[in-house]
Amino acid sequence: MNESKKRSHIQALVIGGSAGAVGALMQLLPGLPGGFPLPVFIVIHLPPDDKGTLAGLLNSQCQMIVQEAEDKEPIRPGVISLAPANYHLLVERDFSFSLSQDDPVFYSRPSIDVLFESAADAYGSALAGVILTGASADGARGLQAVHRAGGRTFVQDPATAEVPTMPQAALAACPQAHVLPLSQLARTLCALALPTELHASLS
């Protein structure tokens, strides 16, 4: 498959992180242009009583719309959707969201694994997954699921991560993942999602 076909094939992006990930997102997401065509789904480990402050913070800094996902909401391209605090976020096969209060995974709800595995089931090889800085192994199994479904996998370079435990665990489970510093991730994701000519005009 040539590179242009790979780019056009990706239909959604999932991102997960924990300790240090808010800062990482503040570097990564503003690099995605307003014309970024993919839906982006994000799980960050948040305190159970968080009231949506992260969505508001990111929305003020990003060219894309940033919001918390809602149960049964249809997925929309070009929108960044965050898992609400204390809820697992899942992608259904009809390309809508569902929220769950099932047991925590690696002591966390929302769980990165839950999001990544459900998104891989829905999108198959049309999914790209990214694991950022964090202090647990949550996300390792999920990134492996993205790879097994034929999707593209990326891990923040542990040497650049505020807490390297999560990217290291992801690489141990999915050694095929591309390892990139944050400074290169946004450009790489744009190259996956946008035709070459449009990507150049938005850069």
Comparing 196 with 111, which gets the higher pLDDT? 111
Number of domains in the chain: 1
Q: Note the pLDDT tens digit of each residue in 164-186.
A: 999 999 999 999 999 999 989 99
- Residue 139's region, left for phi above 0, alpha for psi from -120 to 50, else beta, is left
**CB–CB of 29/66 below 8 Å?**
yes
Radius of gyration of the chain (CA): 15
- What CATH number corresponds to the domain at position 16? 3.40.50.180
Domain that holds residue 149: 3-202
Which is catalytic among the residues 108, 138, 147, 157?
Answer: 138
Using the predicted structure, report yes or no on whether residue 105 has a pLDDT greater than 60. Answer: yes
The C-alpha atoms of residue 21 and residue 133 are separated, in whole angstroms, by 6
pLDDT the model gives residue 195: 56
pLDDT band at 203 (very low <50, low <70, confident <90, very high): very low
The reply to whether 49 belongs to the active site is no
Predicted pLDDT of residue 133: 98
78-103 b/e (C-beta count within 10 Å ≥ 16 → b): bbbbbbbbebbbbbeeeebbbbeeee
Beta partners for 130? 15, 154
Tokens of 196: 């070459």
Q: Is 138 among the residues known to form the active site?
A: yes
Q: Mean pLDDT across the stretch 123-139?
A: 97
Q: Which of 18, 81, 118, 136 is catalytic?
A: 18
Instruction: Quote the CA–CA distance of 201 and 23 in Å, as a whole number.
Output: 27
What average pLDDT score do residues 97-121 get? 97
- Determine the Cα–Cα distance for residues 99 and 86; give it in Å rounded to an integer: 10
pLDDT score, position 193: 86
- How is residue 75 annotated by DSSP? P
* 45 counts as catalytic: yes
Q: Provide the pLDDT confidence category of residue 200 given band limits of 50, 70 and 90.
A: very low
- Taking the C-alpha atoms of residue 43 and residue 65, their distance in angstroms, rounded to an integer, is 16
For helices 140-148 and 112-123, angle between their N-to-C axes, nearest 10 degrees: 10
